[in-house]
Structures are given as C-alpha cells and as structure tokens.
Amino acid sequence: MIEVKGIKKQFGKKLVLNDINLKIQNGKCTAFIGKNGAGKSTLIDIIIGNLTPNEGQIIDKSELLDPSKMAILFQKTQFPKMIKVKELFYLHHALYPQAMSLKAFKALTLFDDAQLNQMANKLSGGQQRLLDFALALVGHPQLLILDEPTAAMDIETREYFWQVIQHLKDQGTTILYTSHYIEEVERMADHIVLLKNGVIQMNDTLSQIRQQDAMTFIYIPKKYQKQLHINEKIQETKQQHIIKICTKDVSRTLQDLQQQQVNLNEIEIHKASLLEIMFKDNHSKEVETL
C-alpha cells in the first residue's frame, strides 16, 4: 500500500495541493479525476518522487515505488528521432532482469515486422501512444502509473488498451491513473479520487459513491404534469414537452404514476451516472469541462 499523508504543494504563491490524504491499495485500480489544473499530475509527480512537497510525506509500505517495480506512462508521448521501434524495445529490455520477450512485445503492440523496424516518431499518434504503453510493460511492473493514458488513441485502440488493463488487474497489478473520460473511470476504477482546486472532494470506492446517491430520473410527457400528485421533485427539461421526476424509490414512484393514469409506455427511466453523482452540486458548465 502507498499512503499519502498531509501533502501540500505550492508553486510560488499558488497553492496547488492542500492537505491530501489517501491510501492506494495493492492490486487495485485507483483513478484521479478532475478538471485541468485540479492537481492530478502534480500529485502523481509527488508520489513518484519527481516533485518534493512543501509538507507531508509518501509512505511506500510495499516498496512499490522502487524503480524496478514501477512503470510510468506520462501524459505526453515523444520519441527521439532516428530510433526504431525494435531498438526502443531492446533499450527497455536491457533494464530488467526478467523482461518481456520480443515475441510478447510484438503481440502486445499488434505491430508487424515492418512497424517494428519503423522509426518510432513516424508512427501515428495512437500507435505511438500504444508503443509508449507497451514499453512501460516490458519490465512486468507491479505498479503501473498512467497519466491521461488514452490521449491520442482512436476508439479501437482505446478499447484494446482497456482490455490489456483488465488483464493486468486480473494479474494483481496495482494501477494508478488519471483520465478525463468518465466512462473509462466507471469501467475500470476500483477507487476514485476527485480533486478540485487542489483539494480532495471525494475519495471512495465506485460502489460506495453510487450508494451515496442512488438517484433515478423518470422522464414523462409534460401533458401529465397537472394530474400528478407525488412527493418527488419534478423538474423542467430542455425538451419543452418532457418533465423529469427525481426519485430514490423507483418501484413506488412507478406505482404512483400508474395509479394516476400515466401510460408507462410513454416514460423513460435513467439511472444517475457517475458524472451526475460526483458533480451534482456543481454548475453544468463545470461538468462539461471535466
């Protein structure tokens, strides 16, 4: 386990992180989410030792931050000019006593022989990102840190990437990552840390976050509004002919609607998404810029 205790970081007069406390559990996938400038990348840099905090400490109880056990995929991928994909592989291979074989590396990247002999900086943006990810796995890391890992990946490559991550999770790899894609967080994270203005706003498992606000939205035609007599909150929507009922007891609300002659074939039921739960107190504009 990695324990983050009382971390505070300033750049000049700007406070970037303030009293950060969290635990990263072995074998779990932890996601840092938040708007640009929330402090996600700074926190990762402190955890891996690239930055020194003004206050606080990182306690590495399992020695996962040992360079021989850790691999990092940084936010930006940039390879040197005039170096081939295969040469990059052998360079990384030489760093580890029990490194991945070239055959396994080729299978992981899905590259053919021509691509292995291609200059790395001439690959497409998505291929370069996949290559960078594969190079991070050459040493079979116990801790994998990913900063915006799917940036520049197309939909197909992104899907393949998360299949590999699922395989690593199944093997017990500890994974820490940042992402702007909330669907990726819902799909893969065991634990979620929401940062806002350098402060932790939420720090819990995905299941616990969902239980905190098990809100469901029922959309019904506005023509029924005058005849409704229910306790739940009714809201207007962007669609003028549709209203929204917010409820935590779907079965009872549906019974009430049926008793009040609402045709259930005309309604839509929508469970609150993770995005709606985590940003329920924020303005919609802030949600859209996550």
Residue 258 is assigned to a structural domain of this protein: yes
How far, in Å, CA of 6 to CA of 57, rounded? 7
C-alpha–C-alpha distance, residues 93 and 101, integer Å: 8
Residue 239 domain boundaries:
215-271
- Any domain includes 78: no
Amino acid identity for residue 29 in this structure: C
Q: Is 61 exposed, middle or buried (0-12, 13-18, 19+ CB in 10 A)?
A: exposed
* Pair type for strands 29-33 and 174-178: parallel
Q: Looking at the 3D structure of the chain, how many domains does it have?
A: 1
Residue 223 clears pLDDT 50, i.e. is over it? yes
Phi and psi at 201, nearest 5°, equal -95, -30
- Answer for the pair 99, 88: CB distance below 8 angstroms, yes or no: no
Q: For residue 221, is it within any domain? A: yes
The rounded distance, in Å, linking the Cα atoms of 22 and 20 is 7
Please tell me whether residue 154 adopts helix, strand or coil conformation.
coil
Residue labelled with tokens 């929204």: 244
Centre a 10 Å sphere on the Cβ of residue 16 and count the other Cβ atoms it contains.
Answer: 21
Provide the pLDDT for residue 279.
64
In a domain, 243, yes or no: yes
In this prediction, residue 286 carries a pLDDT of 39
pLDDT for position 189: 92
Residue 193 lies in a domain: no
Has residue 226 been placed in a domain? yes
Q: How confident is the model over 22-74, as pLDDT tens digits?
A: 999 999 999 999 888 899 999 999 999 999 999 999 999 889 999 999 999 99
pLDDT at residue 290 in the model: 42
Q: Which class for 198: exposed (0-12), middle (13-18), buried (19 or more C-beta within 10 A)? A: buried
Count, residues in the chain: 290
> In degrees rounded to 5, what are phi and psi of residue 206?
-60, -40
CA distances to 233, 246, 270, 271 from 216, in Å: 11, 6, 6, 4
- CATH code at 261? 3.30.70
> Is position 128 within any domain?
no
pTM exceeds 0.75 for this model: yes
